[in-house]
């Protein structure tokens, strides 16, 4: 019993690791984020064209959407249209919420400061789609712990709701020099925690939670859709 409790405490991501994973998103960093990540890294390092991710949003977005881990709001800005009637944004970082909230003001979003790794105590009507892009690779812990995020989100998902998104993998990929350098740097800084993330652990975790799972890899990136 004592051993089991110690193991659980060791497995649980600590507050400092959670903070390191999002502290990087300062107003200055967010002002260059789109160019750095969606303009350069997706193409040169991760080898997953940004248009593929925008396509995922165009296909998955419903009229009643929850976006978690919003960054700058890039994908909703590109893919959102008049069909988007209700938009809610969750993020642990206020800078991200403020920047994305301003950029997406035309959709009148509601903003909530939420740590996805903790149970979400909000009384909100269910959503028909949930976007979770480039968040899992930031979160500390093994894939089984990261996917607790999905357990926290599921009570907010309607019956036929779709969860879609993408994450950068750290295992079972063939990173080029640029990708290797970025993986080393970001993991050393705790901005990424994806050394052990692979297709199998993501796919198994999603299949345990959803009836329909589609998952594909493009370069270093896993793209998924689950309902
Ligand atoms: C790499 S950015 C991705 C932003 C955006 N989805 C994109 O693809 O451009 C990761 C986002 O997840 C948020 N985040 C990191 N850890 C979080 C946590 N524990 N709970 C909620 N949001 C978190 C960060 O603040 C940031 O907005």
Whether ligand 1 lies within 6 angstroms of the CB of 153 is answered as no
pLDDT band at 112 (very low <50, low <70, confident <90, very high): very high
Tens-digit pLDDT profile for residues 185-207: 999 999 999 999 999 999 999 99
Q: Is 69 in the pocket of ligand 1 (CB under 6 A)?
A: yes
Q: What is the pLDDT of residue 11?
A: 46
Distance CA 50, CA 59 (A): 14
Q: Residue 132 in contact with residue 206, Cβ under 8 Å?
A: no
In which residue are the tokens 């959407």 written?
A: 65
- Sign for the CA dihedral angle at 67, 69, 163, 183 comes to positive
Instruction: Enumerate the domain spans of the chain.
Output: 15-226
Tell me yes or no: is domain 15-226 CATH 3.40.50.150.
yes
Residue among 46, 71, 191 whose CB has most ligand 1 atoms within 8 A, to mutate: 71
pLDDT over 90 percentage in the chain: 94
pLDDT in tens, 144-182: 999 999 999 999 999 999 999 999 999 999 999 999 999
Is there a contact between 74 and 89 (Cβ–Cβ < 8 Å)? Answer: no
- Tell which one of 13, 21, 22 to mutate to probe ligand 1, the residue whose CB is within 8 A of the most ligand atoms: 22
**Residue ranges of E strands in 106-206:** 110-113, 127-133, 157-168
Q: How many angstroms does the Cα of residue 68 sit away from the middle of ligand 1? A: 7
Mean pLDDT for all residues in the chain:
94
Is the separation of the CB atoms in 139 and 169 below 8 Å?
A: no
pTM: 0.94
Strands 213-218 and 221-226: antiparallel
Distance, CA 8 to ligand 1 centroid (Å)?
25
| Element at 43 (helix H, strand E) | helix 42-44
Q: Is 26 helix (H, G, I), strand (E, B) or coil?
A: coil
**pLDDT at position 174, please?**
96
pLDDT-based confidence at residue 13 (cuts at 50, 70, 90): low
Q: Which residues contact 113 (CB under 8 A, 6 or more apart)?
A: 91, 92, 94, 97
Count of positions (residues) in the chain = 227
Q: Which residues contact 179 (CB under 8 A, 6 or more apart)?
A: 45, 46, 47, 173, 219, 220
Summarised one tens digit per residue, pLDDT across range 33-54 is 999 999 999 999 999 999 999 9
What are the Cα distances from residue 99, in Å, to 16, 107, 124, 127, 179?
24, 14, 23, 23, 27
Residue 108, pLDDT > 60, answer yes
Query: What pLDDT, on a 0 to 100 scale, did the predictor assign at position 218?
Result: 98
Q: What is the mean pLDDT of residues 72-88?
A: 97
pLDDT given for residue 9 in this prediction: 42
**Pocket flag, ligand 1, residue 133 (CB < 6 Å):** yes
Nearest ligand 1 atom to alpha carbon 69: 12
Name the helix (H) or strand (E) containing 216. strand 213-218
pLDDT recorded at residue 181: 98
């Amino acid at each position: 019993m004592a051993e089991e409790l110690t193991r659980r405490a060791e497995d649980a991501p600590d507050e400092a690791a959670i903070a390191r994973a999002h502290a990087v998103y300062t107003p200055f960093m967010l002002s260059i984020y789109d160019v750095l990540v969606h303009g350069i890294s997706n193409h040169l390092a991760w080898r997953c064209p940004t248009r593929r991710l925008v396509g995922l949003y165009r296909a998955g977005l419903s009229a009643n959407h929850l976006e978690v881990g919003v960054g700058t709001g890039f994908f909703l800005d590109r893919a959102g249209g008049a069909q988007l009637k209700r938009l809610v944004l969750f993020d642990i970082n206020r800078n991200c919420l403020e920047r994305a909230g301003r950029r997406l003001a035309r959709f009148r979003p509601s903003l909530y400061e939420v740590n996805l790794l903790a149970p979400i105590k909000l009384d909100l009507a269910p959503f028909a789609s949930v976007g979770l892009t480039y968040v899992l690779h930031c979160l500390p812990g093994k894939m089984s712990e990261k996917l607790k995020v999905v357990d926290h989100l599921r009570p907010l998902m309607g019956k036929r709701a779709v969860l879609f998104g993408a994450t950068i993998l750290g295992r079972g990929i063939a990173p080029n020099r640029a990708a290797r350098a970025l993986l080393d740097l970001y993991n050393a800084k705790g901005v990424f925690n994806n050394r052990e993330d692979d297709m199998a652990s993501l796919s198994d975790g999603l299949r345990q939670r959803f009836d329909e799972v589609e998952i594909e890899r493009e370069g270093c990136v896993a793209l998924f859709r689950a309902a």
